[in-house]
Structures are given as structure tokens and as C-alpha cells.
Structure 1
Amino acid sequence: MEESTSQITTPLIQKDGNDDGPSSSTAGNILSEDPLEMESSPIEQVALTVPVTDDPSLPVLTFRMWVLGTFSCILLSFLNQFFWYRKEPLSITSISAQIAVVPLGHLMASTITKRVFFKGSRWEFTLNPGPFNTKEHVLITIFANSGAGTVYAIHIVTAVKIFYKKTMTFFVAFLVVLTTQVLGFGWAGIFRRYLVEPAAMWWPYNLVQVSLFRALHEKEVRLKGGLTRTQFFLIAFLCSFAYYVFPGYLFPMLTSLSWICWIFPHSILAQQLGSGLYGMGLGAVGIDWSTISSYLGSPLASPWFATANVAVGFVIVMYVVTPTAYWLNVYKAKTFPIFSDELFTASGQEYNISSIINSNFQLDIEAYDREGPLYLSTFFAMTYGIGFAALTATIVHVSLFHGREIWQLSKSAFQDKKMDVHTRLMSKYNQVPEWWFASILVANIAVTLLACWYYNYQLQLPWWGVLLACAIAFIFTLPIGIITATTNQTPGLNVITEYIMGYIYPGYPVANMCFKVYGYISMSQAITFLQDFKLGHYMKIPPRTMFMAQVVGTLIAAVVYLGTAWWLMDSIPNICETALLSSNSPWTCPGDHVFYDASVIWGLIGPRRIFGDLGMYSKVNWFFLGGAIAPALIWMAHKSFPKQEWIRLINMPVLLGATGQMPPATAVNFTSWIIIGFISGFVVYRYRRDWWQRHNYVLSGALDAGLAFMGVLLYLCLGLEDISLSWWGSNLDGCPLATCPTAKGIVVEGCPVF
């Protein structure tokens, strides 16, 4: 590992009664501890990336941090919700803000007055405590991270207002968004000692940001003929920024180069096999970073064993299970497209959902009997089965492979235990009291219960549904957190929450959606908060300060996300309604379509009429058993052949849950992600370790930032004016026959009839 010129020492920090760290009398006294304690992390990637340093004298809660953090959170919240409704969602990560605020921070440090206000009093403060530093930069990034990604609860609002065309007031929508976002703090507080403090819980994605912080703040000695990390970042950023003009505007086909379709332009079979967006994606590749990272995250941040598990799972589902079921015509598979998230009638036509809803916004059973059963495409049905398997595999895998570790952590939670260097450094700071988290949890559940009782005509969710959803989130946060913290892949609870509520309370689509969001997203938010806590852990941010930034950022993001979505739904004609939009309209809302379909399947119609004794997909439930057996077989193989370390690297929850993002993710997203993950995680990491150490995570951040800035620029300059190009390179896939059925006598517009 090549050292920078920054000081690499482990400080001895004395602490008084202050909340956030050492007293001012000891600030800046950075002394070496016992040399025996100068060890690094036992995780090699962490040891290569995270410095074992801390400077407790650095100011954190500065005026710059509040201004830039709030601005970053608002901007990212607006942009991510704005782009979420588009055909190719553009996810702007906190890395973009992490880069953009650096010159602004230095500018504020050089221009704002250094005057000390109320000098000598307890209220003494200054707007400019000195140079822009790493710790306030980290806290700004935590703020920004609150606005990254999406707010899942807004799917409920979109489904009710756009697809079901029912009423939901802004205040009720805000209550749902706010409570689902904040509920995760409770679970995060309960499980942080298991998922943040242990060195084995290393959260791979955080290393991208740690590497980037070092590149932006540390001064390096430039190697002869080489580049510093900052220079490398700037070059990669400019290349990414300039290149995205091609897939983003000039040559959209780079999103999915499905070359098999070009060779066989009149063959349905060839296009089913070769289409990257509407088929199996055989040979399809996307030369576009948004294609590669939009659903699975950065492949550069994924450990190779996790990438390999995803690759194997994808191959099994996409190239073994799906085609076998399709060509054997299981569940009338040939009547429908091989890959689609639409809902169909027995004759292959789109199902008219509005015809089976009564005036009380419930299932009209007589109308459903007249319309006939609802059918799914082969792939859609198989992915639900795989979701069942991934759920039981998660429980069994964590019990077998991490059960002893969890038990030991539980026993030692209130005792002195061996800590790695980062946990020991963080122990110098005052921790967030448990009652803070408990208070938020209790208050949030109380508000949720009150909202669901008082506004039951809009939300449909009974009080016991809230408590059951909380119980599910509590049970699964730890096992799913362990998987995320070690593999960078997060299995979802969306399927099991839908399944449970659909059986208990069928015919109520909004109740099902709310139950899913409270059960699934509160867990997902807890994972996000824990990941941020680990980032602060690596960068030595006082825990109470970190907690404050997370709470404020979450509240700001909830308001901005909902406000943006509400504005778009009111201002864009026919948004999300693909049948009414023009063919080149970007406002097709792919993620919201899948969410709406799920609400129909699990909430309106109910699993009993689809996957139960009244439905035709009942055999899919056997996947639950298969998922429970699979990790047990791997565990027994590991015990039988303990010297074969590769066996332990088989992670069945990740393998089985590999296709959990499909749909709306497509085959080309996976094929491109796997290729880049192999090159980075296996080839470069194994044969060019020095280059990987210096540049891998920096490259990931640069690619994200370049794409985000060019994407926003293209929209502001061209999208707002509706300036578009129309030529053969504008066709995203070039496989028009990939969605055609192959059963005899099925008539679908634009497709040949067999």
C-alpha cells in the first residue's frame, strides 16, 4: 500500500463531558497509542482503503456544513424524483454532491468572515472556523445521501392517483412518506452494535466514498510516470461527462446493443433470445454507465465473490429456469411475452384492471369471475418464485453461517470485547443513547397507528397491519443487514410482505401497498442509516453529530421528494400512462408500473386467487422450500470439505436474489454489470492489486459523477425544449418482435399470428 504524505497515526484522545468528542483543551493533541495497537482492519479491502487516523480537533458542525448539506439534500431529492418517472431512470448518488461541494467548501472558507461572535460567552461561535476539512465534507455527504435513490412510499401515491385514479390528499401522502422514512431509525438503533462496530461488517460500497474523500483531501506524492488519485479522478470524471452525451442523447442504442436482433430482424425466437431490454439478453451489452449501474449499483464496489454469486443466479434464472418454463409452455407461457411486467388475460391481451374494482375501491369478485383469471409472463412468475426462495434462504443462511457470531455478539453486547482499530477510535466519542432511537421508534409507530385509523378510507390499513409490518421489519433487519454489510447486495422483503397481507386482508390494494412499504422500506431505510453510520465510523465522525445530520436530512428529503412528485403528476399530461403517451415520451414510469402491478396481484386480487388454492400458480410456492434447503446444502458441503474455501463463498441469498430487481431491471443491466464486475473484482484485483488499491473506487465515483452532471445538463439544455433526434441509433433496442407471443392463434398488434 502506498502511503500519502498525510500523518498515519492512531491518536490518543481524552474526552470530557462534551457530547460530540474531546474537550477543547486536548484538541489537536494527536499522540500515538501503543504500537501493538497500530494494527489495521482484518478485512483486506478496508485495510487498503481506510486510514487508521483521527484528528479530533477538526470542526464538524460548521456553517458551511449546514448550508452545503441542506442544499445538496434538496437538490438530489428533487433531481432523483424528477428522473425517476423517466423511461431510463437516472439515479444521482451522493457521490455527485461529494464532488461538487469541494470547490464550494473551499470558496466559503476563503471568503466568509472569520469574526468570532459573542466572544467569551457560552454562545461563542464563528461562521468560518478554518480550512474546509474532511469531517464536515463527510457530514455534507451524509446529508446528500438522504436525497439519493428514491422514496419508496411515493409509489403508493403514484399508484393511487395515476393508475387507480382515486383520491389521496397531500397531507395523508406526507404522513406515509415521513413515517416510512423515519421508522428505520428505530431498527438501526437496535442493530448498530451488530452491523456497525464489528470489523467483519465492512459495507463494501462505503469504500468508494472513503477512497474518494482521501483523493479529494489528502496530498499525495505523485509516482514517476503515474497520477495522483485526484488527477486520476478528474480525468475519469471528464471522460465520463463527455462520453454520456452519446448514450444520453446522440446514440441511445448504446444503452443496449442487441446485435443478435440485427442479424435476424424477422425472427421472433432470435429477438426473444437477443433483446437486452425485452428478452433474455443473450450477447447484449450496454456501453453506458447508467445501464451498468442503474439497478445493481456500481460493479466496482462489489466484491468478486458477490459478483460471481449474482452472475450464477442470473444465468440460472434467465438462461435455465425461464426458457425451460417458456418452451415447455408452463402456465400457457407462449401466450405472453417471455419477458414482461404487464398483466394479461387468457387470450394474451392486457388485463383491464379498472373493470374489477368496485366503488369502495375493493375487488369486485363477480366482475373478476366474468373477466377471468389474471396471467403473468413466464419471467414475471418465475421471479416471484425466486423471491420466495431468496427469503427463506436468507433466514437459513444467516442462521447457519452467522448464528454463532450473532449469539456471541448478543452475549458480549454489554461487556468489554476485542475491537478493531476503527471501533477503538470511535469509542472515544460519546455514543448516541439508545433511548433516542427508542423514542423515535415509539413516536413514529404511534403516529402511524393514528394516521391509519383516522384516514382509513384512504389508506385501508388496519392498526394490526402496522404492528405486523413492524414485526417483520424487526425480524429481517439483522439477517439482511449482515448480507448487505458483507456482499453489497440487499435482498428485499417486498414479496413476503405483499404475500402475508394479501392472504390476511385480500381485496384492499392500498392496504397491501402500505403494509409492504412499512414492512419493507422501514427495514431498507434502517440498512441505509446503518451504512451511513459505518461511513461515519470509518471517517471518525462523532456519532451524535452523525445522527443529527441523518434526522434532518431525512425530514428535508421527505418534503422535497413528495413535493416534486406531486408537482410532476399535476403538471405533465398523461404521466406514466403509456397507452396515452407519444412513442418517444420519456415519462413512462417503469418502476411505478411494476409497483402497481404488484398491488393488483397481491392486494386487489390477492395471492390466494393467483398463488393459492384458487389460482393457477400454486406450485410456485415450492420455491419457499427450495430456498430453505439450498443454503443448508452449502453449509453441509463446507463442513464436509473445510479446506475448500470457495464453498463458503457461495452465498445462496445473493445467488437466489440476484434477479430481485427484474423487472424493471432488464437482462442488459445484468450482463453489462457482470462483465465490468469480473474485470474489476477478479482480473484487476488479482493481477494489478496496486492499481486497484489506488484507483478502483475513485473510478467508480468519477463515473457516477460524470454521468449525473451530463444527464442533468442534457435535460436542462435539450429536454426542457423537447429537442430530440430521430434516426436508427435512437432505437434503444432494435428488437420489435421480442415481446410477441408464439402460441397458435394469439393476435397481438404488431406481431405475426402463428
Structure 2
Amino acid sequence: MKNFEEQEDDNNEIRLTTPLLQNTTRIDASTSHAPSPARDENSPIEQVALTVPVTDDPNIPVVTFRMWTLGTLACILLSFLNQFFWYRREPLSITAISAQIAVVPLGHLMAATITNRVFFSGKKYQFTLNPGPFNMKEHVLITIFANSGAGNPYAIHIVSAVKIFYGKTLTFWVSLIVVVTTQVLGFGWAGIFRRYLVEPAAMWWPQNLVQVSLFRALHEKEVRTKGSLTRNEFFLIAFICSFTYYVLPGYLFPMLTSLSWICWMFPKSVLAQQIGSGLHGLGVGAIGFDWSSISSYLGSPLASPWFATANIAVGYGLVTYVITPLAYWFNVYEAKRFPIFSDDLFTATGQSYNTSAIVDSNFHFDSDAYEKEGEIYLSIFFAMSYGVSFACLTATVVHVFVFHGRELWRLSKSAFQEKKMDVHSKLMRQYKQVPEWWFTCILVINILATLFVCEYYKSQLQLPWWAFLLACALAFFFTLPIGVITATTNQMPTLNVITEYIIGYLYPGYPVANMCFKVYGHISVKQGIAFLQDFKLGHYMKIPPRSMFMAQVCGTLVSALVHLGTSWWLMDTVPNICERALLSPSSPWTCPSDHVFYDASVIWGLIGPRRIFGDLGYYNSINWFFLAGALAPILVWLLHKAFPSQNWITLITTPVLLGATINMPPATSVNYNSWIIIAFLSGFVAYRYHHNWWARHNYVLSGALDAGLAFMGVLLYVSLDMEGVSLDWWGSKSDGCTLASCPTAAGIVVDGCPII
């Protein structure tokens, strides 16, 4: 095999000429049924052409004993750790990249020590536990298996809300069925839309390039030129730095998560702290030096294309620094009675709302008690976040129709015909594809199983059969437009708000039904997108589709069981988990995402949108955001037609721009500030002015930062947190903005706040 080389042409563009694996031969007509790509043929997407090799060896063993052993182990560990850390104040998201790195020495160890004896030699069913050196393809399949445990099942929020916040009964087995069906239902949508979202070269899935780059760094041999580092050496140095550094924000100096310096300058000013707090305010000037907070909600900033970063920055600035301050200081919706940024629910006097008082003994809305307690109020940022969620939804549909409608129509007409393929699709044609009926069977079985559990356990889930079918229809309709946005921008619009809005109108007063409808309508789409992203990773790395499908199904089932088991264990063993009023100020078990999920179930499910956003509601004017979101892509399209020479206009992606703050709350301003800065330095400065460095090291750096953080985070918890060892000094506090959550309306009395 040739060593990895990067050849520069006269335009300083890098052309990758390495084979995919050691001892790999190029595919030609004698070894493959796939069309032979031309020697210089490559992807039309530059980032893909710079990162993904265009060669393959179909004879490399993929489904091996090592793959099953290490894939299952990695999936179990990732599922446990991610669910364990999800309940903490700053959720530590341990990605599949950590498993991707950790299994390498184990794979080589198994290859060196396990017998290579062939069992049942000469028989049709002969096999061996050790088919040879640990190779990249089985490593990719292990990572795809493990990736099933990298994302937390959204349905577990239902379990947390019912058991912890509502204090009602939800059995383990009903919970397991809901978690499994919501996770696996996405396979149906993935199977239907894979021809649109995997095969076309334009659907390039930027996040996958991080893993592709890391696979190559871990397996390919490089010749180190004088004065430079190989990618392996660069990864090792970055990993050690990340691992060592996380001791500071993770234990010694937690304030590095959010340095809100304006609060330090004005320790007694509510206004200054509202403006400057990175955790409880607008975050002007606030910045964090903690990779876990930087990458926890928006993903790695190093994997974001620059045009997507610019859209996010503009959208974030518009909502956080224009719309929210204007609405607050003009006292829209009595905003000054409440914090400027909060995910809590309030009474008219600025106190926390007692939601348990409006739930009757049948776990249903008590209208008489609601009249007595009074209306629910939101912080102005929380209210605006719902508005931009409405706008993002309609913008997603209109944007895809206007800018990608012709291409999607062409693909629809040629779906069953031979069509032009890029080099990677040509190479994948040699493998047996996953039959459409496999996906159809999974879809039908899941629908039937869910209908059964909804009817048989209606007292616990509250969800009628017709509502589940409606959720499936919404998921089917939105998977394609959301998939197009995700595959091209690395940012995924979500359906969580519109799903709870719809069922809240159709079936108000039943909070569990609302949560279940949201999970089936929203998460089946999200899971389908995740499966499609893994399919694209396998597409880039030339993994047989049937092997990939098998690993995804098995990994999803294992992950669902481990995630739910871990969650159940924590809820039974951690005192007062998620109960902020009962926890000590230094407790990490504050469950930020579960609080937002619970609050949403109260707003949309228990009370219902009609009493909040409808004709009976205080916030009904927010519905105008639906119209604004639908008009925004049309305006951009008209600008493009009016000024066709201005190419930058086509880079305005309104769903990403309008949905920039869709993670806030629980995400805070400091998460966005730091993310945008690093994404700018990577996607614009390094990509434009240090292109060769970016091509070699950008994605490797992202993987190293993730891995170093994950390993040190686990080590700190096991060695210090579990032993109760903690520090108590100025640097171990939050951002020091204790007044940022105070109201500024006259006469509102809140503990710890000055009275205006």
C-alpha cells in the first residue's frame, strides 16, 4: 500500500490519493460489480473530496467476533454514561468518537491474542474468531453500533416527568415499550427516504467528516514531513491537552464554564447582570472555556460549515440581542415581572407556579383549580423561543420547497431508474442493498405494537390510537425537509413544538398523552435522521448496507434497555434528583432538559395551547410567527432572483437562522457565544487562510477534544464525585450573577432580589 499523501495542485487545493486501508487494492472490473470510477473522479463537495477516500476493497471482513464483542460493549458503556450525565447541570455528552478511539487498542489486542483457528473448516457455515488484522471497516461498524448509545432516548423524559415532577405511576415495562418503539420507528422513515438523503452527493452530512477523518488518522500510515506532525501525532497531542485541561472546568475552576465579567463589575445592578450573565441572562461579553458546554447543545463547532455558522450567529443575535431586549424593556407580556431568561413557570406576581395544584386525582387538568391559581406566565425569552420555533417549522417546509423542490421532484421521477451517481455511490453498488420490505416490516410492526400498548395501557399513557397515527403522518411529512436541512447544514430543525401544539388543541388536559404524541411525532423523525446519517457514514466508508442495518437495529435495542435501566436506577438512588428547590446549590443533579420538557407538558398538555397561545390565552399574538417563518424563505428566494450575481444570498438558510435559538433554554447564551467564536475561527479563518492545515487537522482536532473531555469527565466522577470530594471557593461558584434572575417591575417581591 502507498503511504498517505496529499498532493497540492497549483491552486493549493488538496487531492487525497490514499487507498482506504492497508493492503487494499483498487476496485476494477475484475473485482467488483460496481462501475469503475475514473482515476481522478471525486465528490463535487470540496469538504468531502478533501476527507473521504475514493477506493475500496470488498473482501475485507466486516462482521466479525471482534465487531460483536467491542460494539456491544461500547454501546452499553456509552448508553450508561450518557444517561448518567444527562441529569447533571452541564450535561456531558460522550459521543461515539470516544468509543471510536477506545476500541482501537482493544481491537489490535484481540487480533494479536485470539486464536485464528477456522471452525468447521470446509463447511458452508465455517467461521473464525480472528479473521486477521483489526481493520478499518469493522472499526466503522463497531462505531455505528456504539453510536446507538450516544444519543439519549427522548422518551425517557416522559418517565422523568411522570415519576419525578408529577409523582404518578408509569411502570418499567410500559416505559420500555415506549422507548423501544420511539427509537425503532425511525427506521421506517429512514428506509423510505434514503434514496433522497444518502445517495445524492449534495446530501453530504458534515458531521460524518469528523469521524471519517479520525478513522483515517487511526488506521492509515503517514509519512511525516520535516517540520510537521502526522495526523496521529496531532491527535495524540490534542487528546492529551484536552484530557489534562478538563481538570480545570471539570473540578478545580468550574467558573471557566461561564466567565460573565460584566457581573463582576456591577455586583449590585440587576440590569447589568441581566445583560452580562452567560447562564441566566443575555450573555453580553460572557465566554466559556469548557468544551463540554461549547459542544453540548449545537454539536462540535469544528464540524459546522461556515454558512451555517453565519446563519446561526445572525439568528442568535436577532433573538437574543434585538427581539428579547426590546420586548423586555417595552414590558411586552408583563415581562419585567419575571426573569429575562428562565425556563420556569410563574404566577402574575413573579412567584414559581404550583402546577401540582391544577392536576386532579385522575391525572387530568382541573379547570376550577386553574381559575383559583391564575394564569401561567413565561419569561420573555421562553415566550420568544416558542415564537421562533413556530417560524422555524414553516420556514423549513417552504425553504425546501422553494430551493430544493425541483431537485426532489427530479429524484422522485427517477427513483426507480438508473441515474447519475457520484464515485461513492458507484463503489457501493457492488454490495447487496437493504430491501425496502425490511424497513416496511419494522415500520408496520412498530405501528401495531404502539397501537396495542396505547389502548391496553391507556390509563398510564393517555394516548388514543388516532393520535398516534396522526403523529406518524406528521413524521412522514417532515422527515424529508428536515433531512435536507440537516444533511447540508449540520443543524436539525425539530418538531417538538408543533407536535405538542397540535395534540394540545385536539386533546387538551392530558399531559402524558401530549408528551407521548410529541415523542412519537418528533423523535421518530430525529431517529430516522440519525439512522440516515449513519447510513451516509457507511456509504463514505464502503460498509455493506445489510451489515450496517443489522448493527443499527441491534445497537438501538441494546441502547434502549440500558438507557432506561440507568435512568430508573438514578431516580431510585439519587435523593431529590431534579428537584431544584430541595437540592443544595452545589448539587449537579438539576436536570435542565427534563425541566424544560416538564414545563412544556404543563403548557401544551395539562393546560393546553388554547388557554396560553389560543383565543383564551395571554400569548396568542405569538402565532404570527408562523406566517413570518413561511414568508422568510420566499423573501430570500426573491432576493436571489433579483440579484442573481450575489451568490451569498443563496447561503441564507432561513430554517437554520430562525431556529438558531431552538435549544435555548436549556442552552444558555454562553454556550452560543463560545460556539460561534470557535466555529468562525475554524470554518472561516482556518478554512480560508490555512486551508492545508484545516484539511489535515480540523476534524481530527474535534475528535480529540471530544475524547479527552469524555475520558477525564468519567475519571473525575469516579475518583472524586462518587467519594464526595469537592472544592468550595470563588472559582467553584456559578458565573456570579446572582441578581440576573430578578424581576425589575415595581412592587414584585422575590426572595434574594431587591424590591424596585
Structure-1 residue corresponding to 2:592: 590
On the 8 A contact 2:35/2:427 being kept in 1, the answer is no
Structure-2 residue corresponding to 1:266: 268
Aligned to 1:92, the other structure's residue is in SS state: coil
**Aligned mate of 1:7, from 6, 19, 24:** 19
Deviation at 1:123, TM superposition (A): 1.4
TM-score (norm 2): 0.97
What one-letter code is carried by the residue in structure 2 that aligns with 1:431?
Answer: Q
Deviation at 1:382, TM superposition (A): 0.3
Structure-2 residue corresponding to 1:714: 716
Deviation at 1:12, TM superposition (A): 3.5
Deviation at 1:583, TM superposition (A): 1.3
On the 8 A contact 1:13/1:56 being kept in 2, the answer is no
**Aligned mate of 2:103, from 101, 104, 108:** 101
Question: How far apart are the structure 1 equivalents of 2:407 and 2:196?
Answer: 9
Question: How far apart are the structure 2 equivalents of 1:606 and 1:447?
Answer: 28
Deviation at 1:704, TM superposition (A): 0.2
Structure-2 residue corresponding to 1:518: 520
On the 8 A contact 2:19/2:26 being kept in 1, the answer is no
Query: CA deviation digits over 1:148-170, x for unaligned, max 9?
Result: 02110000000000000000000
Question: How far apart are the structure 2 equivalents of 1:462 and 1:33?
Answer: 51
Deviation at 1:11, TM superposition (A): 3.9
**Aligned mate of 1:176, from 171, 174, 178:** 178
Structure-1 residue corresponding to 2:322: 320
Query: CA deviation digits over 1:424-467, x for unaligned, max 9?
Result: 10011110000000000000000000000000000000000110
Question: How far apart are the structure 2 equivalents of 1:438 and 1:5?
Answer: 40
**Aligned mate of 2:163, from 150, 161, 164:** 161
In 2 relative to 1, CA 34–348 (structure 1 residues): closer, same or farther, beyond 3 Å? Answer: closer
On the 8 A contact 2:468/2:517 being kept in 1, the answer is yes
Question: How far apart are the structure 2 equivalents of 1:12 and 1:48?
Answer: 20
**Aligned mate of 1:308, from 288, 293, 310:** 310
**Aligned mate of 1:245, from 242, 247, 252:** 247
Question: How far apart are the structure 2 equivalents of 1:577 and 1:13?
Answer: 63
Question: How far apart are the structure 2 equivalents of 1:502 and 1:30?
Answer: 54
1:635 aligns with 2:637: yes
On the 8 A contact 1:272/1:280 being kept in 2, the answer is yes
On the 8 A contact 1:5/1:218 being kept in 2, the answer is no
Query: CA deviation digits over 1:464-500, x for unaligned, max 9?
Result: 0110000000000000000000000001100000000
Structure 1 residue runs of 5 or longer lacking an equivalent are 15-25
What one-letter code is carried by the residue in structure 2 that aligns with 1:7?
Answer: P
What one-letter code is carried by the residue in structure 1 that aligns with 2:460?
Answer: Q
What one-letter code is carried by the residue in structure 2 that aligns with 1:318?
Answer: T
Q: How does 1:396-407 map to 2 (within 5 A)?
A: 396-407=398-409
In 2 relative to 1, CA 171–32 (structure 1 residues): closer, same or farther, beyond 3 Å? Answer: closer
On the 8 A contact 1:62/1:127 being kept in 2, the answer is yes
What one-letter code is carried by the residue in structure 2 that aligns with 1:12?
Answer: I
Aligned to 2:43, the other structure's residue is in SS state: coil
On the 8 A contact 1:258/1:734 being kept in 2, the answer is yes
In 2 relative to 1, CA 13–164 (structure 1 residues): closer, same or farther, beyond 3 Å? Answer: farther
Structure-1 residue corresponding to 2:44: 42
Question: How far apart are the structure 2 equivalents of 1:497 and 1:234?
Answer: 44
On the 8 A contact 1:12/1:30 being kept in 2, the answer is yes
Query: CA deviation digits over 1:633-669, x for unaligned, max 9?
Result: 0001111111111000000000000000000000000
Deviation at 1:580, TM superposition (A): 0.9
Deviation at 1:731, TM superposition (A): 1.2
Query: CA deviation digits over 1:596-627, x for unaligned, max 9?
Result: 00000000000000000101100000000000
Structure-2 residue corresponding to 1:365: 367
Question: How far apart are the structure 2 equivalents of 1:685 and 1:330?
Answer: 43
Question: How far apart are the structure 2 equivalents of 1:297 and 1:704?
Answer: 10
Question: How far apart are the structure 1 equivalents of 2:208 and 2:261?
Answer: 36
**Aligned mate of 1:380, from 379, 382, 389:** 382
What one-letter code is carried by the residue in structure 1 that aligns with 2:571?
Answer: M
Question: How far apart are the structure 1 equivalents of 2:32 and 2:458?
Answer: 58
On the 8 A contact 1:341/1:663 being kept in 2, the answer is yes
Deviation at 1:31, TM superposition (A): 11
What one-letter code is carried by the residue in structure 2 that aligns with 1:343?
Answer: L
What one-letter code is carried by the residue in structure 2 that aligns with 1:451?
Answer: V
Structure-1 residue corresponding to 2:3: none
Query: CA deviation digits over 1:8-49, x for unaligned, max 9?
Result: 7984367xxxxxxxxxxx7xx589976746410000000000
Question: How far apart are the structure 2 equivalents of 1:636 and 1:327?
Answer: 34
Structure-2 residue corresponding to 1:20: none
On the 8 A contact 2:19/2:53 being kept in 1, the answer is no
Q: How does 1:724-739 map to 2 (within 5 A)?
A: 724-739=726-741
Aligned to 1:205, the other structure's residue is in SS state: helix
Question: How far apart are the structure 2 equivalents of 1:268 and 1:585?
Answer: 25
Structure-2 residue corresponding to 1:120: 122
What one-letter code is carried by the residue in structure 1 that aligns with 2:616?
Answer: L
Question: How far apart are the structure 2 equivalents of 1:105 and 1:382?
Answer: 50
Question: How far apart are the structure 2 equivalents of 1:71 and 1:274?
Answer: 44
On the 8 A contact 1:204/1:302 being kept in 2, the answer is yes
Question: How far apart are the structure 2 equivalents of 1:480 and 1:183?
Answer: 16
Aligned to 2:724, the other structure's residue is in SS state: coil
On the 8 A contact 1:60/1:135 being kept in 2, the answer is yes
**Aligned mate of 2:687, from 680, 685, 688:** 685
On the 8 A contact 2:277/2:284 being kept in 1, the answer is yes
Query: CA deviation digits over 1:705-750, x for unaligned, max 9?
Result: 0000000000000010111000000112110000000000000000
TM-score (norm 1): 0.97
Query: CA deviation digits over 1:360-391, x for unaligned, max 9?
Result: 10100000011110000000000000000000
1:752 aligns with 2:754: yes
Deviation at 1:294, TM superposition (A): 0.5
Structure-1 residue corresponding to 2:668: 666
On the 8 A contact 1:356/1:368 being kept in 2, the answer is yes
Aligned to 2:720, the other structure's residue is in SS state: helix
Query: CA deviation digits over 1:170-225, x for unaligned, max 9?
Result: 00000100000000000000000000000000000000000000000011111110
Query: CA deviation digits over 1:370-421, x for unaligned, max 9?
Result: 1110000000000000000000000000000000000000001000110000
**Aligned mate of 1:291, from 290, 293, 296:** 293
In 2 relative to 1, CA 525–34 (structure 1 residues): closer, same or farther, beyond 3 Å? Answer: closer
Aligned to 1:720, the other structure's residue is in SS state: helix
Aligned to 2:99, the other structure's residue is in SS state: helix
Question: How far apart are the structure 2 equivalents of 1:32 and 1:417?
Answer: 14
Question: How far apart are the structure 2 equivalents of 1:177 and 1:443?
Answer: 15
On the 8 A contact 2:340/2:379 being kept in 1, the answer is yes
What one-letter code is carried by the residue in structure 1 that aligns with 2:191?
Answer: G
What one-letter code is carried by the residue in structure 1 that aligns with 2:521?
Answer: G
Question: How far apart are the structure 1 equivalents of 2:37 and 2:219?
Answer: 26
What one-letter code is carried by the residue in structure 2 that aligns with 1:64?
Answer: R
Question: How far apart are the structure 1 equivalents of 2:47 and 2:343?
Answer: 38
Structure-1 residue corresponding to 2:573: 571
On the 8 A contact 2:261/2:286 being kept in 1, the answer is yes
On the 8 A contact 1:339/1:379 being kept in 2, the answer is yes
On the 8 A contact 2:34/2:426 being kept in 1, the answer is no
Structure-2 residue corresponding to 1:151: 153
Question: How far apart are the structure 2 equivalents of 1:418 and 1:5?
Answer: 23
Deviation at 1:57, TM superposition (A): 1.2
Deviation at 1:311, TM superposition (A): 0.2
In 2 relative to 1, CA 259–113 (structure 1 residues): closer, same or farther, beyond 3 Å? Answer: same
In 2 relative to 1, CA 479–34 (structure 1 residues): closer, same or farther, beyond 3 Å? Answer: closer
Question: How far apart are the structure 2 equivalents of 1:31 and 1:451?
Answer: 46
- Identity in percent: 75
In 2 relative to 1, CA 121–581 (structure 1 residues): closer, same or farther, beyond 3 Å? Answer: same
